[in-house]
Copies of this chain bind each other. A is one copy, B any other.
Amino acid sequence: MKITRIIEQAVPIDSNIRNAYIDFSKMDVSVVAIETDVFRNGKPVIGYGFNSNGRYAPSGLLRDRFIPRLRDASAEQILNDAGDNLDPHRIRTVLMTGEKPGGHGERSTAVGVIDMAVWDIVAKVLDQPLYRVLADRYRGGEIDEKVFVYAAGGYYQPDKGLSELQEEMRSYLDMGYSVVKMKIGGDTLDEDLRRIEAVLEVVGNGRNLAVDANGRFDEETALAYAAALEPYNLFWYEEPVEPLDYELHAAVAKAYSPPLATGENLFSMQDARNLIRHGGLRADRDWLQFDCALSYGLVEYLDIVWMLEENGWSRRNCIPHGGHQLSLNIAAGLGLGGNESYPGVFQPFGGFADDMPVENSYVALPDVPGIGFEAKSELYKVLQSVAS
């Protein structure tokens, strides 16, 4: 088995939205297509990968360092013992050769993009959905038939008032979501509370609403929001503070008793472990949002899962950031707590298979080989155009 071609292209995900930290109007993602000499149904197997929203396309890193390393590797360095499929763990070693420890950003995205394409190939060569491959390899074959998903939206947008916000949330309920998420911290606390009250009118109660501050608050603001939010008993209060300020996370956790969520801006097992060790989070309620596509991929994510379990956490505490089909496969195959979903934005990268409706905030996965990109037609069009 051989890799015959590796292509990278940056694709815009232009969106007229902003969270409390950045606007997305200049955001792009790298799409990588890896073609092999293995044929299935008369066509060469091609694996696709892309990074999640929120970090820019790491095109330069892919082209200058990581794609050349993969291209130059020997068969033994990248194949399994039988030589009939790629070995993602060995490929990870190839990609990280010559890289010093620490400094987990950007390159973690580049490696994550390649890793996604590699797992897509692994499952396609086995002619199985990836979630089944993962369940067989790492979970004794058990699969979650459907995965909890929540609708992430509620962004700040020009001319978006309370009624537009309510309309947006109503549309998510109509799509089959019962849990929704909205941004906070881009306005005053009073105004955000009005926005929250408006959404609660639509979704019924706090257990159906998560809020996300995108790491913006200082201690005083985080604690003021915590005190104001506590009575709503929300699904979660996400990224109240700077993602690497573990001590401040611990202070918020001490003051706020309902669930917190964080982790989307920690891009390695080492950073995730520091959050667990020093962040004061509570394994009986808090949520972890590490995103494999920004964090060296599924190979690293497996290390994060084992690390969590060694530290008394369950993988059910994990609901990854990113809203992509790789994390959905991981959730179903490894048994995570769920996955993010962006029904309105980051198209066509966000979202799941076309013919799989969301029901009561759960979604099933298609029975197609690989990660399932071929079952999401608008995304597959983009991926195919990169490969062609």
Chain A interface residues (CB < 8 Å from chain B):
10, 21-23, 26-27, 54-61, 63-65, 97-108, 214-215, 242-247, 265-268, 270-271, 273-274, 277-278, 294
Contact = CB atoms under 8 A, between A and B. Distances in A.
Contacts of A100: 21-22, 54-55, 214-215, 265
A267 B266 CA distance: 14
Nearest to A110: B106
Contacts of A294: 103
A275 to B, nearest CB: 10
A250 to B, nearest CB: 11
Nearest to A277: B247
Given A103-B106, A242-B270, 9 more contacts: A21-B101, A54-B100, A59-B60, A100-B265, A101-B244, A103-B105, A105-B107, A244-B274, A274-B278
Given A244-B268, A278-B274, A215 B102 contact: yes
Contacts of A278: 246, 274, 277-278
Contacts of A277: 246-247, 278
Contact of A56 (B21, B64, B108, B271): B64
Contacts of A265: 100-103
Contacts of A102: 105, 215, 242-244, 265-267
Contacts of A64: 10, 56-57, 59-60
A104 B273 CA distance: 16
A22 B65 CA distance: 15
A347 B173 CA distance: 62
Nearest to A105: B103
Counting from the closest, the 3 A-B pairs by CB-CB distance are A60-B60, A102-B265, A103-B105
Contacts of A101: 21, 215, 242-244, 265
Contacts of A26: 98
Nearest to A62: B60
A57 B107 CA distance: 12
A268 B61 CA distance: 20
30 contacts: A10-B64, A21-B101, A22-B97, A22-B98, A23-B98, A27-B98, A55-B103, A57-B64, A60-B63, A60-B64, A61-B61, A100-B214, A100-B215, A102-B242, A102-B244, A102-B267, A103-B267, A103-B294, A104-B104, A105-B106, A105-B107, A105-B108, A106-B106, A106-B107, A242-B270, A245-B270, A245-B273, A247-B277, A274-B274, A277-B278
Contacts of A274: 244, 246, 274, 278
A276 to B, nearest CB: 11
Contacts of A57: 64
Nearest to A24: B98
A321 to B, nearest CB: 11
For A104, A107, A108, A215, the residue with the greatest tally of chain B CB atoms inside 10 Å of its CB is: A104
A69 B277 CA distance: 37
A59 B65 CA distance: 11
Contacts of A54: 100
Contacts of A242: 101-102, 270
A229 to B, nearest CB: 21
A279 to B, nearest CB: 11
A59 B64 CA distance: 9
A153 to B, nearest CB: 18
A282 to B, nearest CB: 19
A166 to B, nearest CB: 28
A21 B99 CA distance: 8
Nearest to A97: B22
